[in-house]
Amino acid sequence: MIELRTPAEIEQMRPAGRFVAEVLATLRDETKVGTNLLQIDERAHAMIHKAGAQSCYIDYAPSFGSGPFGKVICTSVNDAVLHGMPRDYVLRDGDLVSLDLAVAVDGWVADSAVSFVVGTPRAQDLALIDTTERALDAAIGAATVGNRIGDISAAIAAVAHGDGYSINTDFGGHGVGRIMHGDPHIPNDGRPGRGYPLRDGLVIAIEPWFLATTDELITDPDDGWTLRSADGSRGAHSEHTVAITADGPIVLTDRSFLGVA
């Protein structure tokens, strides 16, 4: 069921968005060559506990995963792009890292993701990350009252295809509110003017993610969660929680107030 939020409810969602933004900015700043993925999860867990917030992941057990996730943040590295289960892995120079975090504060959820390289970056990795970020910006620009879901999807696809990337539509954006994953589904490819009409009060997570040379995913058999590229190529993922209002889109997980992108 698609739910619309009142202006007062959107204001109540702001603390969750701000907190998720702060945690991701902190973790990105602290994650270096030599950082263990389990340390990232421990740090996120400590920040969530200190704030009195609730993880949306730790008990999450959808049909596409292998039992409860059991961690509080997704840490996807290199050929992993989504649902990366934190594991005993020490980051190496040049690793491409995607962090995806969803947290509830006072019963309201915010969801966001950021990708970056630790140590010495490869040009192709920076280009891939840049494509996800520009696609996200284009999608937010299309998230206006009077448009439709297809306009958001088409905006994402235009950037990706323009940069030569193919698109997987199995996983994409979604409604956000009292739960992490709600209606509507927002694929990363679509036709403008099609789909559910965007209305004042709709709150969604928009999340472009792309793989360098494929659009096919495989599930890591070791953890039953981590989604990797079928050909071993690298992936990147950018995401924001966005409220659609009559005055334009509000990016609830915007990190610019912290002085970072």
Please tell me whether 111 is known to bind a ligand. Answer: yes
How many Cα atoms occupy the beta-carbon half-sphere of 91 within 13 Å? 28
Please tell me whether 174 is known to bind a ligand. Answer: yes
> Strand runs (DSSP E) across 129-233, as ranges?
173-175, 182-186, 203-206, 209-211, 217-219, 227-229
Please tell me whether 200 is known to bind a ligand. Answer: no
Which sign, positive or negative, has the C-alpha torsion 36, 39, 41, 43? negative
| 147 DSSP 8-state letter | B
Please tell me whether 181 is known to bind a ligand. Answer: yes
Please tell me whether 42 is known to bind a ligand. Answer: no
Calculate the alpha carbon distances from 259 to 112, 243, 244 in Å. Answer: 17, 22, 24
Strand partners, 36: 90
State phi, psi for 236 to the nearest 5 degrees.
Answer: -140, 155
Q: How many residues does the chain have?
A: 261
Give the separation between CA 35 and CA 235, rounded to whole angstroms. 20
Give me 140's structure tokens.
Answer: 């937010």
- In 10 A of CB 181, how many CB atoms? 16
One-letter amino acid for residue 172 of the chain: G
Give the separation between CA 251 and CA 9, rounded to whole angstroms. 15
Q: Which residue ranges make up the annotated binding site for substrate?
A: 83, 181
Binding site as annotated, residues for a divalent metal cation? 100, 111, 174, 207, 239
What residues form the annotated binding site? Answer: 83, 100, 111, 174, 181, 207, 239
